[in-house]
Homo-oligomer: A and B are copies of this chain.
Amino acid sequence: MKLRSLRERELISAVRKEFSGKKRNLILGIGDDAAVIRSTSKSLLLTTDLLIEDVHFTASFHPPYYLGRKALNVNLSDIAAMGGRPRFALLGLALRAGTELDYVKKFLMGFKAAAGESQTELIGGDISASAKITISVTVIGEGDHFIRRSGAKPGDSIFVSGCLGDAAAGLDLLKKGFELGKNKKAAALLRAFLDPVPQTELGLTLSTHRAATAMIDLSDGLSVDLLHLCEESRVGADVHLEKLPLSPELRLFEKKPENFALHGGEDYQLLFTVDPRNLGFIEKLQKKYGIHLIGKMRRGQGLSLVDEKGKKRPLEIKGFEHLVS
């Protein structure tokens, strides 16, 4: 047997051994032409993402363990943004010839850890070769009620979970040579980029209580993602500059922290809108989930930035460039 096929089969065997857990409603997992799951009475959520070396991540500063976690977690973030519960995952992995088995093992350990934390089961996938490490993850979730991007109304309050811009600042520092473990003061920023945490529990709470009118996860940056939500909902939005949640670390390391908060991507926090009647419920969640009010939906279209003096100007829409030059 030639090397390529042999290594593929070895890898698939290793993955199969590592991920052989039995899960409720799983009929057939890794190892056949397709995985089989039993239907339940709930609706199913489906999302997929590609992560490509030198586009979405840099192998030299993204430890494989964290890369494995992130590959799954960015998809779990999409499920969280619908208010669903993740259940199953498929993993497509293309590796450079000569990739160390140890690298693959660490990647899989990270993927497995994130799967364990979210009770998501890896049930199938595909392994092949490529010039750049390429990762495709599909996640299947479920739920009874979903929060779309299109339900926001004028007068709804805009909230985000967590702090904004930390991941983009982390990437900025990694490019400058900062390393996790070495630069302790920057650790929170580096970790925000290398190991983002999906807001699954918050998403579920908001959907269970019908507490949000619209929701999206922050992957491309606040300005771009809020615009998506506004366009789908056919409304405009006012964002209050002084209300942007900025972490002490972001203020410490970046001269223009607001720009990172407005346009930095990959925070994988949730952005959602709330009808005035539900503000009381959101208040109760605020401490537990670190939720911040940042503005209000309005009639019209486009985004406005309101400064400390109440002065309004158009908010520039600037997509986060990830690693693409």
Contact = CB atoms under 8 A, between A and B. Distances in A.
Contacts of A317: 1
Contact of A146 (B36, B42, B129): B36
B232 A31 contact: yes
A42 B35 CA distance: 14
A48 B92 contact: yes
A13 to B, nearest CB: 10
A282 B84 CA distance: 45
B50 A46 contact: no
Contact of A42 (B32, B39, B232): B39
B126 A33 contact: no
Interface in A16-63: 27-28, 31-50, 52, 54-56
Nearest to A138: B138
Contact of A136 (B31, B48, B132): B48
A70 interface: no
The size class of the interface chain A forms with chain B is 35 or more
Contact of A318 (B2, B34, B126): B2
Nearest to A223: B1
B39 A43 contact: yes
In the complex this chain forms, how many copies of it are found? 2
A112 to B, nearest CB: 18
A168 interface: no
A124 interface: yes
Interface stretch (A75-83, A189-197, A289-297, A304-312): A75-83
A33 B47 CA distance: 7
A55 B130 contact: yes
Interface in A87-132: 88, 90-94, 97, 123-126, 128-132
A238 interface: no
A227 B5 CA distance: 12
Contact of A126 (B2, B48, B84, B132): B48
Contacts of A48: 48, 90-92, 124-126, 136, 138
Contact of A39 (B6, B41, B55, B319): B41
Given A55-B94, A128-B55, A220-B5, A35 B46 contact: yes
A106 to B, nearest CB: 21
22 contacts: A1-B224, A2-B319, A2-B321, A28-B148, A31-B149, A31-B232, A32-B148, A32-B149, A34-B78, A36-B45, A37-B46, A39-B41, A47-B90, A48-B90, A49-B126, A50-B126, A55-B129, A55-B130, A56-B128, A130-B134, A131-B132, A132-B132
The 6 A-B residue pairs with the shortest CB-CB distance, nearest first, are: A5-B319, A136-B136, A34-B47, A33-B81, A50-B92, A34-B45
Given A34-B78, A39-B43, 15 more contacts: A1-B317, A2-B319, A4-B324, A34-B82, A36-B146, A37-B44, A37-B46, A46-B88, A46-B123, A46-B124, A48-B91, A49-B92, A52-B134, A90-B138, A134-B134
